[in-house]
Amino acid sequence: MLASIGAGSLEDLFAHLPAEVRFERTLDIPAGKSEYDIVNYFRQRASENATGYSSFLGAGVYSHYRPVLVDAVVSRGEFLTSYTPYQAEISQGTLTTIFEFQTMICQLTGMEVANASMYDGSSSVPEAALMAARVTGREGILVSRAVHPEYRETLATSVRHQGLHVVEYAYDRDSGGIDLEDLESKLDSTVAAVIVQSPNFFGIVEDVRKAAELAHKSGALLVVCFTEAVSLGLLEPPRDADIVCGELQSFAISPSYGGPFAGIIATKEKYLRQIPGRIVGETKDANGNRAYCLTLATREQHIRREKATSNICTNQALIALMATVFMTVYGKEGLRELAVQNLSKAHYLAQQLPRRFKGPFFNEFVVSGNGRPPEQINETLLTRKIIGGLPLGRFYPELAGGMLVCATEMTDRQAMDAFVGVFVAEEALAK
C-alpha cells in the first residue's frame, strides 16, 4: 500500500507537518494490553465500587429491573455500530424504531409530537425553556425549587448568555408541592415558561392543572419535567402542559454512575417546528412503500448554523432504543403493574417512617430528621450492606436533617424492614 501511494514509510505520511508541530516522543500511556488484562482491570475497578448492597437512592436515577431482551436488541451490531440515519435507504431499522419511540413518548406524556430524544433529562430542561422563549417571544423562566437541583444548575449555565432570566419559586413547606401563591406572585407578562417537575424532587405528585391555569392566565407556557418515567404508567399524563421534558433512565437504562441516559421533549403539534433536535417523519419511497426519514432538518445546526434552534446534533439513539424495547416488553399492562409495585413498595416503607411532606407521592419521599444526622444513619446502614437515602442538606439547607428515600420493584421487604430497624434504633440513640 505504501508503494502504491509513493511513500517509503508510514512516517512519510506526516512528514509535511511543520517541525515545531510534530510530537517526537511516545505518548506516556502504558503499552497495549490484552483483552483479558482489560477485563481484569475493570473488574478490579468495579470491585472498588458498591456491589451487593441494597439501595434506597433515587433522586433522579432509579434502580429498575432491565429485561434481558433490552441488551439482546441493543447489542445487535446493526443498531450498535450504525451512524445517524441520514441515508434513509439503509437506515430504516433505526428510523422505524425512532418513529415508534416518538409515538410511545406521545402516548406516555399525553402530548402530540415528540423528538428523537435529547442528551438527558437535565439538558432537556434548558432546551424546553429556550423553546418556550422562542414561542412566546418572552425572556422570563420561572422554575420550581422542587425541580431536581442539578437540573436547575444545568438550566442556569445553559441559558445564561441567551438573554433569559431564570427565577426560582418556592415549594410549599407543608405539602412539598409547588407554592401556588408564590408562583402567582412572580408571574407577569415577561414570563415565557413556568417549569414544574412531577413527581418532583421530593417525590410529590404536583398539581399540574393548577400550575397550567396560572401559567396560561399570564400567557406563559407550562413546562412539565419528570425524572421517574415509571410514574407515567400510573399518573394522569400532564395534558395541560405545553411542553413535557424529562429523563428516561428508569426505562432499562443502567444507572452507570450518571450516564449515558436519554432525555425527551414532547409538545403540542402547533409547536413542532420549535422543537430542538432530531425528528423522524413518515413518508413513502419511490415505489410507494411506507418509509421513514429524518425530517424538518432546517431547524438544525448543519443547515441553519448560528440561527439553529440548538447546537445539538445527536440524539441518544441507542439509549432511546433501550427505552423503546423496555416500553415494548412491559407494554400497556406491564408498565401499569410495574408502577403499582413501585407505589406499593414506597408506601409500605413510608408507613413506618416519619414523612416530611403531606402531598401524594409515587415511589420517593422525604423522611424527616429523627435527631441523628442522616449521614450517621447512612453509615450505620452501610454496615448492614444497605445504601440509605440522599441527605438533603447539600441541596436544601432548610431540610438538612432529612433524607430522600426511594423504593422500586427491586427493593425487597427485608431490606425495607432492616432500613426501618436502623432508623428506629438511631432515633433511640438520639434520645
Task: Pick out residues in 165-204 that bind other proteins (CB under 8 A).
Answer: none
- Site for other proteins contains 297 (CB under 8 A): yes
Residues facing 183 on adjacent strands: none
Q: Is 164 helix (H, G, I), strand (E, B) or coil?
A: coil
Work out the number of other CB atoms within 10 angstroms of the CB of residue 78. Answer: 9
CA distance 387 to 316: 30
Which CB, 260 or 401, lies closer to other proteins?
Answer: 260
Work out the number of other CB atoms within 10 angstroms of the CB of residue 265. Answer: 29
Binding mask 36-55 for other proteins (x = CB under 8 A): -xxx-xxxxxxxxxxx-x-x
One of 240, 252, 279, 420 touching other proteins (CB under 8 A): 279
CB of 324 to other proteins, least distance (A): 8
- Site for other proteins contains 18 (CB under 8 A): yes
Contact (Cβ atoms closer than 8 angstroms) between residue 418 and residue 386: yes
Residue with cell 409530537: 113
- Site for other proteins contains 311 (CB under 8 A): yes
CB of 133 to other proteins, least distance (A): 13
Which CB, 50 or 428, lies closer to other proteins?
Answer: 50
Sheet holding 390-391, edge to edge: 364-367, 403-406, 390-391
Which CB, 189 or 311, lies closer to other proteins?
Answer: 311
One of 173, 281, 354, 429 touching other proteins (CB under 8 A): 281
Under rule CB under 8 A, which residues in 334-373 are in contact with other proteins?
Answer: 334-341, 343-345, 347-348, 360, 362
Sign of CA dihedral 267, 272, 274, 276: positive
CA distance 124 to 131: 10
Which CB, 82 or 368, lies closer to other proteins?
Answer: 82
* Contact region with other proteins (CB under 8 A), list: 168-176, 187-195, 313-321, 365-373: 313-321
* Contact region with other proteins (CB under 8 A), list: 78-86, 139-147, 167-175, 176-184: 78-86
Closest Cα to residue 248, out of 192, 319, 304? 319
- Site for other proteins contains 270 (CB under 8 A): no
Under rule CB under 8 A, which residues in 412-431 are in contact with other proteins?
Answer: 412-413, 416
Residue type, 39: V
> What is the grid cell recorded at 153?
444548575
Residue type, 292: Y
CB of 369 to other proteins, least distance (A): 18
One of 175, 218, 274, 328 touching other proteins (CB under 8 A): 328
- Site for other proteins contains 82 (CB under 8 A): yes
Contact (Cβ atoms closer than 8 angstroms) between residue 249 and residue 258: no
Which CB, 179 or 206, lies closer to other proteins?
Answer: 206
Rg (CA), the chain: 25
CB of 130 to other proteins, least distance (A): 9
CB of 185 to other proteins, least distance (A): 26
Q: Distance of alpha carbon 301 from its chain centroid, rounded?
A: 23
* Contact region with other proteins (CB under 8 A), list: 65-73, 167-175, 179-187, 215-223: 65-73
CA distance 306 to 394: 38
Contact (Cβ atoms closer than 8 angstroms) between residue 267 and residue 243: yes
What are the two backbone dihedrals, phi and then psi, of residue 361, each rounded to the nearest 5 degrees? Answer: -135, 160
Residue type, 117: S
For the chain, the distance separating the N- and C-terminal CA atoms, rounded to the nearest angstrom, is 80
CA distance 355 to 245: 28
Under rule CB under 8 A, which residues in 130-159 are in contact with other proteins?
Answer: 148, 150-151, 153-154, 156-158
One of 170, 180, 312, 418 touching other proteins (CB under 8 A): 312
Binding mask 367-406 for other proteins (x = CB under 8 A): -----------x---x----x--x----------------
Under rule CB under 8 A, which residues in 222-251 are in contact with other proteins?
Answer: 232-237
